Amino acid sequence: MRSPADGPSGPLRPYGPPGTDDPFRSKQPYRPRDPYRAHGSYGAHEPNPPHAPLPSRDAYVSSRDAYGPGTPDAPYGGVRLRCATCGRLHALADLAWRCAGCHGLLDVHGFAPAMPNAVELGRRPPTLWRYAEALPMPRPPRISLGEGMTPLIGAPGRPDVLLKADHLMPTGSFKDRGAVLLVALAARLGVPKVLADSSGNAGTAVAAYAARAGLACEVYVPAATSEGKVAQLRAYGAVVRRIEGSREDTAAAAARAAEEPGTFYASHVHHPFFPHGTKTYVFELWEQLGGRLPGTLVLPAGNGTLVLGARLGCQELLDQRLIDRLPAITAVQAAGCAPLARAAAAGGDVPEPVTVTPTVAEGIAVARPARGSQVLRAVRETGGTFVTVPEDRIVAAHRELARNGLYVEPTSAVCWAALREGLVPEHAVEGDRPFAVVPLCGNGLKAKPPE
């Protein structure tokens, strides 16, 4: 199995600042393996050699400078968006967010990801763009805010568990990973405005990168969205539309507005570039843990964008022989809104209808996740499971994290709640790999604290 430590540049430090002791460093060196075979997962991939040619630093220039105006698809080669239902292909310049024929979901098609080798990684800054060859578009200049490579932190009372601090991302949530790709694509295509709908975090991420790119931005949010998130949206210059009703009512209003000509719908749910951004969560774990992944990824599931990104990233690492097995995914939902967990318990392939009850985990209160069938399949393919956490346990987990110096929004506490309550299946992990990694997805300053 090929490791990020392979190469003349010497080993990469798995995690933490120089001098940090690493309890998870493998005592056995990783050996290169045979060339791998690529396999599609939420995007059609073509075979790559394990050490594909790497671009020079000159490749990290503006795609506009490199290719000139009028060639919006040039940087992406044969990348298109393909309907998962009928197979219809859409050019990126079509600004499609659903199939023009059957309104089915779109996935990335014609993209061949490749992980850079250790020598090249060692020369790159600590952002998610260090994995440029594994992303469906080139690194954009002037848009990046330094997103990515968030630290791993020891979990309170669990030496076999690590917390990944995505609440320290530029806008305060993991959604920066996908939003920067969406806005970079919009800027490359020359659209005048981006539009998003969100319970808060995805919208603020899109708004921040739109401001950075000089694009107008309009964000649709539920009327009950936390005031901190709304204030953040407005600070970035976004026009905020507060919609009465459910999260699904907000999404429907945004979808209608997205039909306006020249509008790029930067949907973290519908646009398939988004999970190609969130997959970098897994790439960073693989690099920080010295070429390994934990036995279990514990992830929140509302619309499931982190689950889908993590599943995609794991598959790409497996296809390139960089890991030898998939980690199990435990997807966590709030008990008050658990359409995926109910479907999984019943052996179903589509989300179960639910009546939403109020939950402090507003970020995952999604009754009808658009990619719900994909999320169910993604978890099942890893041998994982869905679990639910009641309100009082979410509040208790939130309080415990804060007492240990980690102030996150309540939604970010659901995964820690599941783990501390013993809901995450325990299994043996070979060597000194961590049993599980739990994400801290959003900053506590963005949401109303639980009562």
| pLDDT (tens digit per residue) in 26-68 | 333 323 232 222 333 344 333 333 333 333 323 323 333 332 3
| pLDDT, tens digit (0-9, with 9 covering 90-100), for 246-282 | 888 999 999 999 988 889 999 999 999 999 999 999 9
Alpha-helix runs per DSSP H in 263-383:
273-278, 280-288, 305-319, 339-345, 372-381
Instruction: Quote the CA–CA distance of 431 and 417 in Å, as a whole number.
Output: 26
- Looking at this protein, which amino acid is placed at residue 246? S
Specify the amino acid at residue 337.
C
With beta carbons less than 8 A apart as the criterion, state whether 318 and 325 touch: yes
- Read off the pLDDT of each residue in 429-438 and give the average, rounded to a whole number: 90
Are 424 and 296 within 8 A, CB to CB?
Answer: yes
SS3 category, 433: coil
More confident residue, 11 or 141: 141
Report the C-alpha gap between 55 and 128 in whole angstroms.
16
Query: Strand runs (DSSP E) across 166-283, as ranges?
Result: 193-197, 216-222, 239-243, 263-265
pTM of the model: 0.84
Q: Which residue has the higher pLDDT, 105 or 43?
A: 105
Residue 208: φ, ψ to 5° = -65, -45
pLDDT in tens, 155-171: 999 999 999 999 999 99
Model confidence pLDDT, tens digit, residues 273-308: 999 999 999 999 999 999 999 999 999 999 999 999
pLDDT for 224 equals 87
According to the model, what pLDDT value does residue 406 have?
A: 98
User: 1 pLDDT band (50/70/90 cuts)?
Assistant: low
Q: Which residue's entry shows tokens 């939604």?
A: 411
194-206 b/e (C-beta count within 10 Å ≥ 16 → b): bbbbbbbbbbbbb
Per residue in 195-214, pLDDT tens?
999 878 999 999 999 999 99
Question: In percent, how much of the chain has pLDDT > 70?
Answer: 83
The pLDDT of residue 376 is: 98
Residues 229 and 235: their CA atoms lie apart, in Å, by 10
Q: What's the rounded Cα separation, in Å, for the pair 334 and 96?
A: 32
- The percent of residues in the chain predicted with pLDDT above 90, rounded, is 72
Q: Averaged over 215-221, what is the pLDDT? A: 96
Mean pLDDT of 180-188: 95
Answer whether residue 415 shows pLDDT above 90: yes
What's the pLDDT band for 140 if we cut at 50, 70, 90?
confident
For the chain, helix, strand, coil in percent to 5 are 35, 15, 50
pLDDT higher for 298 or 8? 298
Average pLDDT over residues 103-118: 94
pLDDT, averaged across the chain: 84
